[in-house]
Structure 1
Amino acid sequence: MAGNRKPYNRSLPPAWAAHGDIQEALDALETYRKKDPNKVIVRFKAVGNAPIMKTNLYQINASNRFQAVIQFVRRQLQWKAGDPLFTYINLAFAPAPDDTVANLYKSFATDGHLIVNYSTTAAWG
């Protein structure tokens, strides 16, 4: 059955191509694809019995997903993937791993920093 399939066609549907906005759409996609070169200052604060980092201020690429921040904290604390780690923004909520650092910073920055609290046990619901 696999031999009967037509090769994948990467061209735009004729209805889209007829509008002449193709270059504008391609430019928008290219802009979206570029990573933000800006950096965000992130302040890490331990909560409860979590070990304290030696340095608590770091600059992180704004285009990174929050998952990269979680992995960074794990590396700094030498925490294994199976060890519990809970992260919060401003002692208020746990962001989704696919949130971008830039969006979190724009919405929740305090004194020019994004404050990330971390804990080994669930601190807030």
Structure 2
Amino acid sequence: MADDTPKKEEKPSKIDVLLRPAGDAPILKRKKWQVDPAKKVEWIAGFLRKLLKCEQSESIFLYVNQAFAPSPDRDIGTLYECFGGDGKLVLHYAKTQAWG
């Protein structure tokens, strides 16, 4: 007997996050990272600060869809569910405010 109940889509254990530069931001050698969906946007910002060797006084701005800056306490899994596609979430980063 077949089970006709709709299956819930399984949440991925890791999300492919593509980091793309905007404005004057330096280009990363590696652009795709696998991130735990429970991580917060602020974690990505801190990770980027280390990768880019930012001074403590420098800011990092993150954007979704080249349009808005997600709040630092937003988790990556929720952003992926709302704005991800093709198995990945694209985030743009800049050292100066670029959009929004």
Q: Within 1, Cα distance between the matches of 2:37 and 2:57?
A: 27
Corresponding position of 2:28: 53
1:52–1:90 CA distance, 2 compared to 1 (3 A) = same
2:86 pairs with 1:111: yes
TM-score for the superposition, normalised by structure 2: 0.83
Corresponding position of 1:85: 60
Shift of 1:37: 8.0
Shift of 1:80: 2.5
Shift of 1:89: 0.9
Corresponding position of 1:74: 49
4+ residue runs over 4 A deviation: none
Question: Which of 84, 99, 105 in structure 1 is aligned with 2:74?
Answer: 99
- Indicate the RMSD between aligned Cα atoms, in angstroms: 1.5
Q: Within 2, Cα distance between the matches of 1:39 and 1:120?
A: 26
RCO higher in structure (CA 8 A, sep ≥6): 2
TM-score for the superposition, normalised by structure 1: 0.67
Helix, strand or coil at the partner of 2:86: coil
5+ long unaligned stretches in structure 1: 1-35
Aligned-residue identity in percent? 36
Q: Within 1, Cα distance between the matches of 2:12 and 2:81?
A: 15
- Which range is displaced more, 65-74 or 77-86? 77-86
Equivalences for residues 5-44 of structure 1 within 5 A? 38-44=13-19
Q: Within 2, Cα distance between the matches of 1:72 and 1:112?
A: 21
Q: Say whether the 8 Å CA contact 1:37–1:63 is kept in structure 2.
A: no
2:99 pairs with 1:124: yes
Query: Over alpha carbons, which structure has the higher Rg?
Result: 1
Q: Within 2, Cα distance between the matches of 1:37 and 1:75?
A: 26
